C-alpha cells in the first residue's frame, strides 16, 4: 500500500499527490465510507500540471501568433489556450498531462470519469455513497469564458487559467449537459443514481450574457454502490415550520420512540432532534471566497450535509480531487477521517496549510469528540 505524502499526527487525514487513478489503484478495497468530491469541470480551466517531453528546454511552447501581448491585455487574454495542447509546433516537444477536464470532447471527459469512479467503487464500502458536484460547459469553444467577465479570468502564480478547447462535435452556445451525461454514464456502469440535488447560489459569478439567464446553480448527485446503504437523515434534518411540542408532540414522539430495531436506537443519540423535517433537495448556499491561489473551491457549508449524512462519525471520507482541501477541513471539524488526492503539488501545499488549523481546533461538537466511542446505528436507504 502506498504511503501518504502527508498525514495528520493521528493519521486520520491523509493526502496523496499524484494522478487519482493511480493512487486509487493502490488503496485497499472497501476502505472508505463515502466519497465527496468535485472533479475539474470539462473545458473550463487548465490547472498547470503539464510537463513537456523532448524538444528544446528553452522553448515556451507558445503559438507564434499569440506572442507579443503585454501589460493588462496580456494578463486578460493569454492563457493555456495559447499553449500547444499535444505537440509543440516550434520544437516538437510532447505535452504530458494527466489532469482531468482538457479532453477534446465531452464523451472523452465522461469516459475518463467513469474509469476513475470504477476505482472509487472498488475502495468504497458496500454501504457507501458518492456525493458528486459537477457544473456545466457550453459547446463550440469548450469552456471559453462561458460569459465570465475578463477580470474574473486573471491568473497569477499557482492559479488556474480559463482555457479554450476547440470541442469537436459541439455547436457554439450549446449547453453540453455534462453533469447529466456523467450521471447517466455512472448509472449505466452500475451505480445507483439516487438523487440530483440542486446547489442554488444566491451570489453567482456574474456573466456578460444578454440572451440567457445568469447561471446560478450546480448539481450534486447522490450515488450508491448498493441498493441499501448508510444514510443518516437525522443528522441533516431541517427545521420544521409550524411544528411544536405540547401533548400531541409528546404522544407522537413516545409512540415513535417505542419502535424496535435500528430506528429506535437512533433516538438515544446525542444529536437526535425531535423537531425537524427531512432535508429538501434544493440547497441554497453562498459561494465562499478563498484568498489563496486555487480558484475552484466549493463552500464548506455545501458539503457538510454530504459528510454528515454519508459517513458515520469516526469513518473515512474520500476526495479524489481534493484541491485546496475543503473536504478534509470539514472532516476534521466533524470527527471524520479523510483521504485526499491532488495532482498539483502546489495545491496540495495549500490544502495542508488550510487543514492544519482545523485539526488543531478539533471537532466542533461534543458528539464528534466522542465519535469513536459512540455506537452508531446502521441507517440504510430504501
pLDDT single digits (tens) 48-106: 555 555 666 767 657 665 443 333 323 333 344 455 556 666 676 665 455 676 788 89
Reply yes or no on whether the pLDDT at 353 is more than 70.
yes
More confident residue, 139 or 176: 176
User: What's the whole-number mean pLDDT along residues 344-359?
Assistant: 93
Start-to-end CA span in the chain (Å): 35
Reply yes or no on whether the pLDDT at 33 is more than 80.
yes
Q: Which of 138-142, 192-196, 273-277, 371-375 has the lowest mean pLDDT?
A: 371-375
User: What's the whole-number mean pLDDT along residues 145-158?
Assistant: 40
> Rounded to the nearest 10 degrees, what angle do helices 326-333 and 300-310 cross at?
60
User: What's the whole-number mean pLDDT along residues 279-286?
Assistant: 98
Q: Smallest Cα–Cα separation from 317: which of 76, 66, 34? A: 34
SS3 state of residue 124: strand
CATH topology of domain 6-44+102-238+278-373: Rossmann fold (3.40.50)
Q: Which of 7-11, 73-77, 294-298 has the lowest mean pLDDT?
A: 73-77
Share of the chain above pLDDT 70, in %: 62
Reply yes or no on whether the pLDDT at 161 is more than 60.
no
Alpha-carbon span 268 to 272, nearest angstrom: 7
Q: Smallest Cα–Cα separation from 128: which of 220, 192, 184? A: 192
Cell numbers given for 289: 471566497
Query: Which of the residue ranges 81-85, 143-147, 170-174, 226-230 has the most confident prediction, judged by mean pLDDT?
Result: 226-230
Residue 173, CA atoms < 13 Å, CB-side half-sphere:
4
Residues 6+ apart with CB under 8 A from 373: none
What's the gap between Cα 130 and its chain centre? Answer: 10
Q: Measured between alpha carbons, how far is residue 240 from residues 50, 277, 284, 342 in Å?
A: 50, 5, 17, 39
pLDDT tens, 200-223?
999 998 998 999 999 999 999 999
Torsion angles phi and psi, residue 9, rounded to 5: -60, -35
Reply yes or no on whether the pLDDT at 260 is more than 80.
no
More confident residue, 257 or 301: 301
Query: In this structure, are residues 201 and 135 in contact, taking their beta carbons and an 8 Å threshold?
Result: no
Segments of the chain assigned to CATH 3.40.50.150: 6-44+102-238+278-373
How deeply is 112 buried, as exposed, middle or buried, from its count of CB atoms within 10 A (0-12, 13-18, 19+)?
Answer: middle
Kindly tell me the sign of the dihedral angle through the C-alpha atoms of 337, 99, 173, 286: positive
Amino acid at each position: 500500500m502506498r504511503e501518504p505524502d502527508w498525514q495528520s499526527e493521528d493519521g486520520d487525514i491523509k493526502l496523496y499527490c499524484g494522478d487519482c487513478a493511480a493512487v486509487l489503484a493502490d488503496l485497499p478495497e472497501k476502505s472508505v465510507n463515502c466519497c465527496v468530491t468535485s472533479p475539474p469541470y470539462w473545458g473550463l480551466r487548465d490547472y498547470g500540471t503539464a510537463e513537456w517531453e523532448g524538444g528544446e528546454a528553452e522553448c515556451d511552447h507558445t503559438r507564434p501568433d499569440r506572442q507579443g501581448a503585454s501589460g493588462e491585455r496580456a494578463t486578460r487574454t493569454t492563457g493555456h489556450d495559447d499553449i500547444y495542447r499535444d505537440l509543440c509546433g516550434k520544437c516538437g516537444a510532447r505535452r504530458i498531462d494527466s489532469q482531468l477536464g482538457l479532453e477534446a470532447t465531452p464523451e472523452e471527459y465522461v469516459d475518463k470519469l467513469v474509469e476513475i469512479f470504477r476505482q472509487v467503487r472498488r475502495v468504497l464500502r458496500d454501504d457507501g455513497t458518492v456525493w458528486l458536484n459537477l457544473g456545466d460547459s457550453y459547446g463550440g469553444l469548450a469552456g471559453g469564458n462561458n460569459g465570465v467577465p475578463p477580470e474574473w479570468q486573471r491568473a497569477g502564480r499557482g492559479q488556474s487559467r480559463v482555457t479554450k478547447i476547440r470541442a469537436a462535435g459541439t455547436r457554439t452556445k450549446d449547453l453540453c449537459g455534462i453533469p447529466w451525461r456523467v450521471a447517466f454514464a455512472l448509472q449505466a456502469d452500475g451505480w445507483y443514481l439516487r438523487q440530483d440535488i440542486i446547489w442554488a447560489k444566491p451570489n453567482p459569478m456574474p456573466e456578460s450574457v444578454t440572451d440567457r439567464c445568469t447561471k446560478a446553480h450546480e448539481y450534486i448527485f447522490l450515488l450508491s454502490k448498493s441498493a441499501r446503504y448508510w444514510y443518516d437523515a437525522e443528522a441533516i434534518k431541517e427545521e420544521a415550520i409550524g411544528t411544536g411540542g405540547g401533548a400531541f408532540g409528546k404522544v407522537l414522539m413516545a409512540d415513535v420512540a417505542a419502535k424496535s430495531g435500528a430506528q429506535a436506537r437512533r433516538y438515544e443519540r446525542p444529536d437526535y432532534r425531535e423537531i425537524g423535517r427531512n432535508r429538501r433537495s434544493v440547497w441554497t448556499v453562498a459561494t465562499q471566497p478563498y484568498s489563496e491561489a486555487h480558484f475552484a473551491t466549493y463552500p464548506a457549508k455545501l458539503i457538510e450535509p454530504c459528510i454528515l449524512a454519508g459517513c458515520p462519525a469516526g469513518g473515512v471520507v474520500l476526495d479524489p480531487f481534493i484541491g485546496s482541501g475543503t473536504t478534509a477541513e470539514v472532516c476534521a471539524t466533524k470527527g471524520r477521517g479523510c483521504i485526499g488526492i491532488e495532482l498539483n503539488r502546489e495545491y496540495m501545499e495549500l490544502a495542508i496549510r488550510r487543514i492544519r488549523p482545523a485539526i488543531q481546533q478539533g471537532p466542533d461538537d461534543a458528539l464528534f469528540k466522542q465519535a469513536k466511542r459512540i455506537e452508531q446505528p446502521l441507517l440504510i436507504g430504501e
